[in-house]
Amino acid sequence: MPQVTVAVTPLPHAEGIELPAYATQHAAGMDLCAAVREPIILQAGERKLIPTGLTIALPEGYEAQIRPRSGLALKNGLSVLNSPGTIDADYRGEVQIILANLGSEPFTVTRGMRIAQMVIAPYTRITWEPTSSLPETARGTGGFGSTGVG
């Protein structure tokens, strides 16, 4: 598996919080932790921007995808809005998570809590080729459930 080096600068409010790391040998994502100074309560239906205290410099041709953590989603109804979110290679601001409480109970975000996942992935840039028609396929324009339910 290729290794990619990513520069990271923790901000002062991330002091004492470990850098994201892979939890298992074959994990694709690294957990991102909340770098909040005080606990933040997310009421049911509420969303807030949660800091991670990290700034990164991705190599050209890579993005960071921000995704929900499955355990928080299942057990507490927490999700990441704009998911998967993209951090571009030229962004130098703090990585922050738009955390939403889709559950029915308030949820408290505490310092160092694992709140999202980050996957580093290569991407491809395209060039548009305007044309008057597209090649035919068996599916054609069918979509939005056209292949059946289940």
Domain membership flag for residue 45? yes
Mean pLDDT of the chain: 95
By the 8 A CB rule, do 66 and 116 touch? yes
What CA–CA distances, in Å, run from 21 to 24, 39, 94, 114?
A: 9, 23, 18, 11
pLDDT, position 14: 98
- pLDDT at 149 > cutoff 70: no
- pLDDT at 148 > cutoff 80: no
Here the CATH number for the domain that contains residue 102 is 2.70.40.10
What CA–CA distances, in Å, run from 100 to 36, 43, 75?
A: 16, 9, 14
Domain membership flag for residue 134? no
Predicted confidence (pLDDT) per residue in 17-64, tens digit: 999 999 999 999 999 999 999 999 999 999 999 999 999 999 999 999
pLDDT, position 145: 76
Predicted confidence (pLDDT) per residue in 108-136, tens digit: 999 999 999 999 999 999 999 999 999 99
- Write out the residue range of the structural domain in which residue 47 sits: 7-122
- The percent of residues above 90 in pLDDT, for the chain, comes to 89
Q: Count how many domains the chain has.
A: 1
DSSP per-residue letters across 11-78:
-GGGTTPPPP-BSSTT-S-EEEE---SS-EEE-TT-EEEEEEEEEEEPPTTEEEEEE--HHHHHHH-E
Phi/psi for 12 (5° steps) reads -55, -35
> Is residue 12 very low, low, confident or very high in pLDDT (cuts 50, 70, 90)?
very high
